């Protein structure tokens, strides 16, 4: 359940207030981009990376997108303040408003900025994964984009719960492991951590990027490598990453007998937490948490 207030462009509004119209072409067509951020002690964790990914995806999909990252950031921080949440998940969306015969009257802006916050989910000790074949088209030019049209992922996620799983492993047209519906997947084999390359059709997740580039364990290389289901079965450990799960072990995969070691993933999880805390402390020291943006918030309680 989302928190009481949402962000709509320059306004913070009650979530019960109507602010979108069917004639905004991206609303009904799913023509928009989004990202889910971790709010940690009032700080938007790795916001610049999220902004950069949304900007890249928006350019590919021809969605008008603001060029100033601070324009969005200041408004997101104001939303966090309005909802009085220091630790939360935050969904930010940029939706295209104009184009085609189904554009409605009164659509003045080229795009709308929308954001919500909600409580962080308690994921438990690990995940049980189903398997969905032919779920990613890796050869598509739009593979790996985080587009607003998310119904397939939601349905697969829903079906996973119907069958006693928490999530699913999505395979591409070559029967390669790609990702989960909202997480990237990793294996540990010996002293090496492996994750599918972007050519598998997976999303370039922010936490995935951090594990590949910044958060390392001594003597444990992290590489991109094509993975198949048999690679998951022979791995010493399997885990997933996402902005709200951080690093989370996999306990079961449908049809496979996997090992459930946690030595490497546990150490990586701790290293990630250390990185997060250092990031938060650094951001607070440099710029503080409370936005000083002068824009007007209707119905905002702060």
DSSP-assigned beta bridge partners for residue 210: none
Environment class of 78 (CB within 10 Å of its CB; exposed 0-12, middle 13-18, buried 19+)? buried
Residue with the bigger pLDDT between 285 and 135: it is 135
Strand bridging mode 222-224 / 127-136: unpaired
Which stretches does DSSP call E strand in the chain?
5-8, 11-14, 32-40, 43-44, 88-96, 111-118, 127-136, 167-172, 177-179, 184-189, 192-195, 222-224, 237-242, 246-253
Give the number of residues written for the chain: 302
Of 6, 28, 137, which Cα lies nearest the Cα of 79? Answer: 6
Overall average pLDDT of the 290-294 stretch: 42
Look at residue 295 in the predicted model and tell me its pLDDT.
42
DSSP 157: H
Overall average pLDDT of the 262-277 stretch: 97
Q: What does the alpha-carbon distance between residue 289 and residue 10 come to, in Å, rounded to a whole number?
A: 19
Q: What does the alpha-carbon distance between residue 106 and residue 111 come to, in Å, rounded to a whole number?
A: 13
Look at residue 288 in the predicted model and tell me its pLDDT.
58
Does the predicted model carry a pTM greater than 0.95?
A: no
Overall average pLDDT of the 37-47 stretch: 97
Q: Which residue ranges does the chain devote to CATH 3.20.10.10?
A: 127-281
| Check whether domain 127-281 has CATH 3.40.50.410, yes or no | no
Overall average pLDDT of the 262-268 stretch: 97
Q: Which residue ranges does the chain devote to CATH 3.30.470.10?
A: 5-120
DSSP 147: B
CATH of range 5-120; options 3.20.20.70, 3.90.550.10, 3.50.50.100, 3.30.470.10: 3.30.470.10
The percentage of residues in the chain with a pLDDT greater than 90, rounded to a whole number, is 92
pLDDT band with cut points at 50, 70 and 90 for residue 286: confident
Q: What is the pLDDT of residues 200-227, one digit of tens each?
A: 999 999 999 999 999 999 999 999 999 9
Assess contact for 146 and 53: CB atoms under 8 A. Answer: yes
Q: What is the pLDDT of residues 69-119, one digit of tens each?
A: 999 999 999 999 999 999 999 999 999 999 989 999 988 899 999 999 999
């Amino acid at each position: 359940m989302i928190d009481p207030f949402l962000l709509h462009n320059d306004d913070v509004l009650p979530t019960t207030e109507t602010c979108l119209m069917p004639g905004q072409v991206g609303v009904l067509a799913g023509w928009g981009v989004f990202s889910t951020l971790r709010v940690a002690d009032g700080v938007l964790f790795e916001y610049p990376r999220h902004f950069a990914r949304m900007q890249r995806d928006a350019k590919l999909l021809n969605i008008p997108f603001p060029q100033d990252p601070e324009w969005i950031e200041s408004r997101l921080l104001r939303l966090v303040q309005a909802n009085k949440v220091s630790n939360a998940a935050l969904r930010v969306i940029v939706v295209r408003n104009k184009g085609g015969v189904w554009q409605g009257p009164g659509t003045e802006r080229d795009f709308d900025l929308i954001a919500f916050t909600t409580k962080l989910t308690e994921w438990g000790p690990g995940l049980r994964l189903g398997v969905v074949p032919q779920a990613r088209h890796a050869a598509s030019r739009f593979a790996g984009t985080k587009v607003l049209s998310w119904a397939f992922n939601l349905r697969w996620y829903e079906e996973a719960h119907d069958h006693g799983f928490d999530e699913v492993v999505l395979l591409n047209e070559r029967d390669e492991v790609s990702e989960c519906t909202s997480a990237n997947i990793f294996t540990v084999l010996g002293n090496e951590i492996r994750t599918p390359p972007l050519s598998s059709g997976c999303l370039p997740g922010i936490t995935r990027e951090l594990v590949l580039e910044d958060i390392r364990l001594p003597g444990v290389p992290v590489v991109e490598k094509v993975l198949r289901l048999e690679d998951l079965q022979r791995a010493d450990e399997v885990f997933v990453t996402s902005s709200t799960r951080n690093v989370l072990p996999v306990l079961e995969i449908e049809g496979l007998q996997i090992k459930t070691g946690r030595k490497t993933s546990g150490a990586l999880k701790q290293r990630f937490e250390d990185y997060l805390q250092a990031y938060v402390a650094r951001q607070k020291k440099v710029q503080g948490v409370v936005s000083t943006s002068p824009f007007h918030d209707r119905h905002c309680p702060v």
